Amino acid sequence: MKYKKVLVTGGAGCIGIQVCNQLIEKGIDVVLYDLSEQINLTEKFLDKRIILKHGSIMDRTSLRDSIIGCDAVIHLAAHLGVMRTESNKLRCLEINIEGTKNVLEAVVNNKNIKKLVFASSSEVYGEPLTNPITEDAVTQGRTLYAVSKLAGEELIRAYKYEFKGFDYTILRYFNTYGPYQVAQFVIPRFIYRTLNGKSPVINGAGNQKRSYSFSSDTARATVDSLFSNKTNNVVMNIGNSNEPVTLLELANKIIQASGKKGKIKPEINKKFSNTDREADREINFRYCDTTLAKRLINYEPKISLDEGIKKVIDVGYIPLSWITSEKNYLIDE
């Protein structure tokens, strides 16, 4: 399916920047819809041809006006980050559920919209029974964020059933990282501390295993999903299934890439003291099976973890916090 103009909510974030730029490269008109604070932070990294719309997914009027003339939507906007979502649970539910409902209302009220791609999360799986995780695994999220993402998925199915005028693809992103990502997430946080001569702090024993996908790979899968009819009304895992690593291995990779080997060692915080995380909700092993994505859109990660870490270091832009009207969430420098 060929689309002429795509609305991307949350388009000024780590993944959104890559999605918008890749769409422009394909000759698609792009309307980026995001908070003014976020656009102001990352506008310099965006293709100049992108149409910028300042607004919140909580603002139904602004959403309705911004979607005019579009024929597809990629919905990335969300309230995320452990500290943010757990410290303001009601806001997390409001933005991720009510905000997604607002996007869906804009979609069904605009008869030109043919497809919606929704960014869900591997958090919905919680601690999986087996790894790697396939899409038919039990969903047993441990966090409010996970609950909000599952609710978003169900809302999309409900609207599809009721209105039938659009198709959807639900993408369950596994840990994604890249340039411009806030240092609330593990890879930019480790890089920021290491480059500043401080030990990356690992909460827990360090044997927690994850798979990490570079933002351009996640974005490419998102864009390819939009244009493929094979992904219509499908739930699909997106991540780097080739390189699951432990947190300790990850920290040592970053130390080496930063040129700090022999000067810095990872710091192990087994008791989760002075952190926003809790031991009883920590996921020990979670990494993805992307067989379905490979079959439907020929998805294969192109950027290795070592290459991706180097790219983040080379760009050198790691914002310390989300600057929002609610609160400035700043990491411990």
Catalogue the active-site residues.
145
Q: Which 8-state DSSP code applies to residue 82?
A: H
Helix axes 247-257, 186-195, angle to 10 degrees: 40
Is the distance from CB of 106 to CB of 67 less than 8 angstroms? yes
Residues contacting residue 246 through CB under 8 Å, at least 6 positions apart: 206, 207, 208, 209
Sheet strand arrangement including 115-121: 51-54, 29-34, 5-9, 72-75, 115-121, 167-173, 234-238
Give the angle subtended at the CA of 238 by the CAs of 92 and 214, to the nearest 5°. Answer: 90
The runs of H, that is alpha helices, within the chain are 14-25, 36-42, 60-66, 82-87, 89-93, 99-109, 144-163, 186-195, 215-227, 247-257, 291-297, 305-315
Q: What is the three-class DSSP state of 166?
A: coil
DSSP per residue, 169-210: EEEEE-SEE-TT--TTSHHHHHHHHHHTT-PPEEESSS--EE
Is the distance from CB of 184 to CB of 321 less than 8 angstroms? yes
Rounded distance between C-alpha atoms, residue 69 and residue 4, angstroms: 9
Rounded distance between C-alpha atoms, residue 35 and residue 39, angstroms: 6
